[in-house]
Amino acid sequence: MSITIIPVRGLPIIHPGDDLAALIAKAAAFEDRDVLCVASTVYSKAKGYIRPLAEVKPGDRARRIALRDREDPRFVQAVLDETKEVILEHPFILSVMESGHIGVRAGVDRSNIEGDQVILLPPDPMAAAKDLHDAIMNRTGKKVGIIITDTCGLSFRRGQTGVAIGWYGMPAIRDYRGDKDLFGHVLLITEEAVVDEIAGFSNYVMGESNKGVPAVIFRNMDCWSGHDNLFFRPEEDVIVAALKKCRD
């Protein structure tokens, strides 16, 4: 069976206080077991997870980093405020966030918002996904999987892709442990990050600039069993361990 992917078009520009789920439900028709990807930026704008830079007071560290990297020190402070642990300071801040997500500049975004403000990631992206899941269910009666996406660079490759930072109604990872291949060998590659694969393609459909498509529906999906341990425990992450060893 083929999979159909439907961009949600015609949403207005989102402002704090808007009912995002109601706007999406009005713009699109859902079926049970669809997967809905929503850009974290529009969720954050609707919920008011934004900061005017005029209200940010940069500290010493932010001023030092800003000087070195020619950034606005208020922007750097906003990034540090969203960062649980700094893995790299230079040439960009690489942040571990409270949610477990690791990303450049803590996902703080200066694009697609009016004036001198920044958009923050939702502080609890898993709760954000559940919130949207329940609101879509209430509005439409349909039970859909939700993925909250962010745009991130990949290691070793130029260019951003979409990744999942929160999800609900579906697992993050398809787990093949114990499965056998076409010839009966037990599989060596055993866990697949399906939420990232779906989030990545939703980012392709959304585009980055000015297409105004902040939500994408995936239909005829088969991603309903697996587990949710998407983020490494610190001792499991070889790359982070190496980066910290260099930093310290």
Nearer to a second copy, 60 or 233 (CB): 233
Closer to a second copy by Cβ: residue 135 or 161: 161
Q: Which residue has the tokens 């906003």?
A: 78
CA proximity to 41, closest of 11, 71, 6: 11
How far apart are CB 139 and a second copy at their closest, in Å?
21
Q: How far is the CB of 237 from a second copy (least distance, A)?
A: 6
Q: Are 94 and 104 in contact (CB under 8 A)?
A: yes
Q: What are the phi and psi torsion angles at 240 (to 5°)?
A: -65, -40
Of 22 and 242, CB closest to a second copy: 242
Closest approach of a second copy to the CB of residue 127, in Å: 20
Could you identify the residue written with the tokens 């790359």? 239
- By three-state DSSP, how is residue 163 classified? strand
Please give the Cα distance from 200 to 158 (Å, whole number): 15
Omega cis (within 30) before 91: yes
CA distance 204 to 9: 15
Of 124 and 222, which CB lies nearer to a second copy in the complex structure?
A: 222
Residue 153, CA atoms < 13 Å, CB-side half-sphere? 13
CB of 133 to a second copy, least distance (A): 20
Q: Considering the complex, state which of residue 88 and residue 135 has its C-beta at the smaller distance from a second copy.
A: 88
Residue 38 CB-density burial (10 A; 0-12 exposed, 13-18 middle, 19+ buried): buried
Shorter beta-carbon distance to a second copy: residue 123 or 212: 212
55 or 235, CB closer to a second copy? 235
Residue 94's H or E segment, with its range, is strand 94-96
State the nearest-atom distance from the C-beta of 138 to a second copy, in Å.
25
Give the whole-angstrom CA distance, residue 163 versus residue 10: 24
CB 171, min distance to a second copy, A? 10
Task: Give min distance, CB of 13 to a second copy, in A.
Answer: 6
Q: Which two tokens stand for residue 241?
A: 């361990």
